[in-house]
Amino acid sequence: MPRYIIERTVGSMTEEELSVAAKRSIEVIDSMEGVVWIKSYMSAAEGKMYCEYEAPSPDAILEHARRAGLPVDKISEVSVEISPAMFR
């Protein structure tokens, strides 16, 4: 399954707003075939969130975001996963 990094401009979010958005995202994922939220990173200083997903296509990512009410600035397909362990 292809893996994607999604860049989202979210501004400043309270813990409560983040919790509501995450729960809504999970509800939508539960109703979609093949979309898996792996993890996300938040940069409060930039007002950005970077989310890692598995999905059949970028269109599935966009549909998830639409249903969940989440912004999408950019979708990048991961072609290679790199870790330090690969080079030891």
pLDDT digits (tens, 9 = 90+) for 13-59: 889 999 999 999 999 999 999 999 999 999 999 999 999 999 999 99
Q: What is the CATH number of the domain that holds 34?
A: 3.30.70.3090
Query: Could you tell me if residue 8 is inside a domain?
Result: yes
Residue 63 lies inside a defined structural domain of this protein: yes
Could you give the angle at which helices 15-30 and 58-68 cross, rounded to 10 degrees? 120
| Confidence (pLDDT) at 60 | 97
64 lies in some domain: yes
Determine, yes or no, domain membership for 87: no
Bridge partners, residue 6, by sequence: 51, 75
- Provide the token pair at 3: 């893996």
Residue 73 lies in a domain: yes
What range does the domain containing 16 cover?
A: 3-81
How many domains, the chain? 1
Do residues 68 and 25 make contact, with C-beta atoms less than 8 angstroms apart? yes
Label residue 86 by pLDDT band (50, 70, 90). Answer: very high
Q: What is the pTM of this model?
A: 0.90
